[in-house]
């Protein structure tokens, strides 16, 4: 096997710190396994003194398998995630075992209890609790003082209530979570020099993969573990650091040479994955970032077809063409499973999924696709439509009667079927309430013969549902635009249907087809197009890649405001582009939800479209 000059330099590195900047497709796994072999075979290091750390169990398993194939025998090198390594350390120090770790369903149960205790009204319980859990993890893992942290999911007071209640339940149950593993290991090493010394002797050579994803506590532990030996071999790519929301800090990698001035820096600049056209285009995009190590990524692969950057009038036209291209590639011999469609968030895929179903193109979702029709806002709108169609079920009225607020008591909804006459009789001595009920009856009557698209618009504006969402967003400390986006997407899905019956039939077909497609994609050897977010695509590669909706407010995402946010968004686009081996298609749209959209600034600044396109 032949290696290039930079790979040889990295593989041959023996003692002291080393920073290996591994560009996309540059063979970083090869370098880590070969360097591990070199340490054992040529430098006489005991396999049991080598620690190789990765960020996922799948990556650790793959690294271990590749190393054992390379060596032709099983050797006691430690391959594992940070959590697996720290768990092992804590097991010896404190005797913890698998039953000491809190289960995911326990955590969710506790959070639900606390939600009920603090009487916080919410319609999106799962989303709220997931956000709170994520922020609790961030605060603990980063060792942030609670009083100085300002949460995004809820108010500061509510967040502190959840944090304190969660910690109390953990301690009462004698349990720890994954963040405790980090903090406990750090505190153990900081306070017990004797224990630290024994582990420093055990792991005298440390190799870390995907170093750009490390967080502060993980790095603090690693530095303690490396100790005076300083045999720290870190491999990663600052240009692919896209997990800041999990606490990953690219600044750690950028500052590695300050912590270790004697570190050898090796840059793996040869891309063995992609065509020259793809490498050059991706290089122009990421070159616009300022906080990064400068690299000259190149390839000896063929030039290949130019990167296609194309505008479409709207998402429907974009996805129709995308489905056609997928079919065309498949007919020319590219397997569906060697193609991927990548998007910024998993909510961006619904319309595409409908087109793939229509074209009978099999697909595999890397992550669960949120069903827009299951969102609580969608259920409210659908319930209004059902009532307009004639439903008088008590459950339907209970759902929407005070959305927007009409201050109608649940006590008056005391029969299985609701009649407006009965409601009016209940409030006969309160004229102002009777007027509200009459207005609701009038609204329902107006909606009866409307096509679904117009009916949704009527509920939003005339009925006052948008005003209800504004109040809800204010109470929950969230951006109302996020809630309006759900309304926009639901309304988009209803366009083209003449009756509510047709729309409802489509919703049921969509749900059933999605369930069947997801089941089929789980079967082994299924030839299916991969649908993935940019985050979930990291580390993977495909012959053909489509990037969709590369627009302002999508990528960069509308919440990205600070310079570091924009730079991470640019890195995300770079990650997506560099998944492609042979063909790369970048699509953007000019309009969505009847609003004008601009192409992503990243395409303009990289010279991939003319500057006037971005205005």
- Which residues sit opposite 21 in a β-bridge? 236, 267
CB neighbours of residue 37 within 10 Å:
17
Give yes or no for a contact between 274 and 24, defined as CB atoms under 8 angstroms apart. Answer: yes
- List the one residue out of 605, 543, 613 whose CA is nearest residue 579: 543
- Which residues sit opposite 81 in a β-bridge? 54
466-485 exposure pattern, b = at least 16 Cβ within 10 A, e = fewer: eebbeebbeebebeeeebbb
Give yes or no for a contact between 284 and 607, defined as CB atoms under 8 angstroms apart. Answer: yes
- In degrees, to the nearest 5, what angle opens at C-alpha 432 toward C-alphas 426 and 437? 55
Question: Phi/psi at 182 (nearest 5 deg)?
Answer: -65, -55
- List the one residue out of 93, 114, 243 whose CA is nearest residue 176: 93
Q: How far apart are CA 545 and CA 325, in angstroms?
A: 11
Do you know the residue count of the chain? 615
Q: How far apart are CA 378 and CA 380, in angstroms?
A: 5
Q: How far apart are CA 271 and CA 299, in angstroms?
A: 5
Distance from the first to the final alpha carbon of the chain: 51
Helices (H), 401-556: 420-426, 431-447, 452-461, 465-476, 480-494, 500-522, 534-537
Q: How far apart are CA 598 and CA 382, in angstroms?
A: 31
Residue 430: exposed, middle, or buried by beta-carbon count in 10 A (0-12, 13-18, 19+)?
exposed
E strand or H helix that includes residue 342: strand 339-343
Count CA within 13 A, CB hemisphere, residue 142.
18
Give yes or no for a contact between 146 and 163, defined as CB atoms under 8 angstroms apart. Answer: yes
With left for phi above 0 and alpha for psi between -120 and 50, is residue 556 left, alpha or beta? beta
Q: How far apart are CA 331 and CA 329, in angstroms?
A: 5
Q: How far apart are CA 472 and CA 562, in angstroms?
A: 27
Give yes or no for a contact between 298 and 269, defined as CB atoms under 8 angstroms apart. Answer: yes
Q: How far apart are CA 548 and CA 541, in angstroms?
A: 17
Catalytic residues: 28-29, 209-210, 240, 579
Helix (H, G, I), strand (E, B) or coil at 50: strand
């Amino acid at each position: 096997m032949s290696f290039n000059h930079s790979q040889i330099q990295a593989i041959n590195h023996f003692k002291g710190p080393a920073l290996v900047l591994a560009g996309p497709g540059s063979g970083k796994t090869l370098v880590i396994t070969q360097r591990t072999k070199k340490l054992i075979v040529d430098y006489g290091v005991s396999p049991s003194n080598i620690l190789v750390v990765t960020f996922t169990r799948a990556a650790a398993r793959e690294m271990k398998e590749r190393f054992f194939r390379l060596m032709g025998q099983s050797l006691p090198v430690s391959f594992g995630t940070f959590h697996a390594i720290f768990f092992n350390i804590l097991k010896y120090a404190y005797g913890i075992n698998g039953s000491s770790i809190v289960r995911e369903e326990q955590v969710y149960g506790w959070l639900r209890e606390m939600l009920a205790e603090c009487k916080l009204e919410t319609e999106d319980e799962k989303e709220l609790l997931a956000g709170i859990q994520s922020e609790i993890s961030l605060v603990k893992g980063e060792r942030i003082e609670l009083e100085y942290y300002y949460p995004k999911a809820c108010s500061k007071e509510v967040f502190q209530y959840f944090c304190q209640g969660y910690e109390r339940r953990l301690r009462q149950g004698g349990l720890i979570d994954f963040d405790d593993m980090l903090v406990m290991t750090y505190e153990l090493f900081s306070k017990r020099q004797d224990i630290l010394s024994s582990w420093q002797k055990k792991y005298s050579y440390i190799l870390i993969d995907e170093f750009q994803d490390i967080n502060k506590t993980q790095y603090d532990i690693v530095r303690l573990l490396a100790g005076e030996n300083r045999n720290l071999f870190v491999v990663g790519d600052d240009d692919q650091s896209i997990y800041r929301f999990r606490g990953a800090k690219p600044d750690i990698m950028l500052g590695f040479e300050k912590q270790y001035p004697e570190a050898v820096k090796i840059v793996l600049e040869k891309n063995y994955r992609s065509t020259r056209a793809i490498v050059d285009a991706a290089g122009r995009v990421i070159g616009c970032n300022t906080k990064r190590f400068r690299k000259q990524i190149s390839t000896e692969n063929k030039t290949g077809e130019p990167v296609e950057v194309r505008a479409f009038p709207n998402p429907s036209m974009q996805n129709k063409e995308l489905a056609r291209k997928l079919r065309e590639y498949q007919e020319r011999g590219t397997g569906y499973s060697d193609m991927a469609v990548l998007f910024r968030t998993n909510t961006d895929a619904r319309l595409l999924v409908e087109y793939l179903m229509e074209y009978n193109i099999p697909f595999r979702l890397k992550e669960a696709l949120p069903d827009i029709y299951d969102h609580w806002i969608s259920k409210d709108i659908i319930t209004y439509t059902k009532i307009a169609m004639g439903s008088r079920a008590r459950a339907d009225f209970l759902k929407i009667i005070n959305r927007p607020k009409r201050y109608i008591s649940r006590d008056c909804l005391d029969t299985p079927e609701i009649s407006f006459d009965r409601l009016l009789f209940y409030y006969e001595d309160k004229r102002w309430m009777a007027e509200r009920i009459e207005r609701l009856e009038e609204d329902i009557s107006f909606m009866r013969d409307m096509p679904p698209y117009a009916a949704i618009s009527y509920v939003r504006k005339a009925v006052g549902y948008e005003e209800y969402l504004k109040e809800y967003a204010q109470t929950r400390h969230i951006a109302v635009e996020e809630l309006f986006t759900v309304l926009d997407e639901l309304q988009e899905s209803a366009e083209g249907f003449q009756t509510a019956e047709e729309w409802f039939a489509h919703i049921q077909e969509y749900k059933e087809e999605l369930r069947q497609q997801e089941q089929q994609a789980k079967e082994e050897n299924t030839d299916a197009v991969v649908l993935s977010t940019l985050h979930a695509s990291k580390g993977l590669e495909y012959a053909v890649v489509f990037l969709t909706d590369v627009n302002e407010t999508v990528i960069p995402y509308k919440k990205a405001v600070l310079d570091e946010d924009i730079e991470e968004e640019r890195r995300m686009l770079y990650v997506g582009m560099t998944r492609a081996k042979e063909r790369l298609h970048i699509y953007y749209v000019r309009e969505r939800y009847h609003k004008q959209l601009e192409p992503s600034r990243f395409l303009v600044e990289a010279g991939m479209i003319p500057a006037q396109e971005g205005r």
